[in-house]
Structure 1
Amino acid sequence: MLNRAIIMGRLVADPELRQTPNGVSVITFTVAVDRNYSRDRERQTDFIDVVAWRQTAEFVSKYFSKGKMIIVEGSIQTRSYEDRNGNKRRAVEVVADNVQFGESKSAGGSQQGYTAPAPTQAPPEPAVSYASGDVGDFSEMSSDSDDLPF
């Protein structure tokens, strides 16, 4: 199964950093994302709720404000709750794994971002790079070999 979402849009309001009772940073914000449109239709916008945790939340709090272009990569999460009037509600939101600036430096941003570390995942083994001249397991062949197919 696959649950990945990538959105790019502008922040609707300044995000506010909060702390859970255990001291974990969390931030929620809404991203306005324009839909693709045809020439005969008016442009429509979706307002997508996003939640980020820990270092990603602190990164968003420090570098983003209302109107800034943001790129969010994460997964879609749904949850149910009861509102103040006792009505059952359902919320759909993107849980951010990776957040990046969506504007160039000249527009006030940078192309850097913050990617949350993968939980309990060992770093991958470095790949052998043959392009850099590391021939490790290969041996040199003589150029006058009759075994060459060409």
Structure 2
Amino acid sequence: MASRFDAAGESIPTATLAVRGVVALILSILGNGALLGIVLATDVVSRFDALSPIPVFFLTIVGVIGATVVFGALTRRSDRPDRTFTLVAAVVLLASFAPDLYILSEDPDATAGAVAVLMVMHVVVAAACVFALTDRYSPIAR
């Protein structure tokens, strides 16, 4: 299904972009909050600084804001912004695993399980952003 905004220069309205960004943020925070809550409550993995509420929620917010800005820019510059954004999101998702692997190698408190949880949190944000921002999936303001 082609995006309603799949024409270069046909940018998504700012209000629509803002609403979709807020939905992506809410979905990301709820998903990562639930995952973090389960992990911390059950002690499934060992705790370390990166796997605590402040860094998780701060970086979730930063990621969603970045994704929203990128999607808005793509609607102005790409003939197929939904497809392009999905590809960009996949590449950024893969690149986002590198710092987690660095943490695993450098932080003595980090375990493979805890870093895997961080990686799953990146997937949650990427999925929420693709779902909420792109016209292909989002039911918002069609």
TM-score category, normalised to shorter length: under 0.3
Kindly indicate which of the two structures has a greater share of residues assigned to helix.
2
Query: Which structure exhibits the higher relative contact order, with contacts defined as CA atoms closer than 8 Å and separated by 6 or more residues?
Result: 2
- Structure with higher Rg: it is 1
Structure 1 length-normalised TM: 0.20
Kindly indicate which of the two structures has a greater share of residues assigned to strand.
1
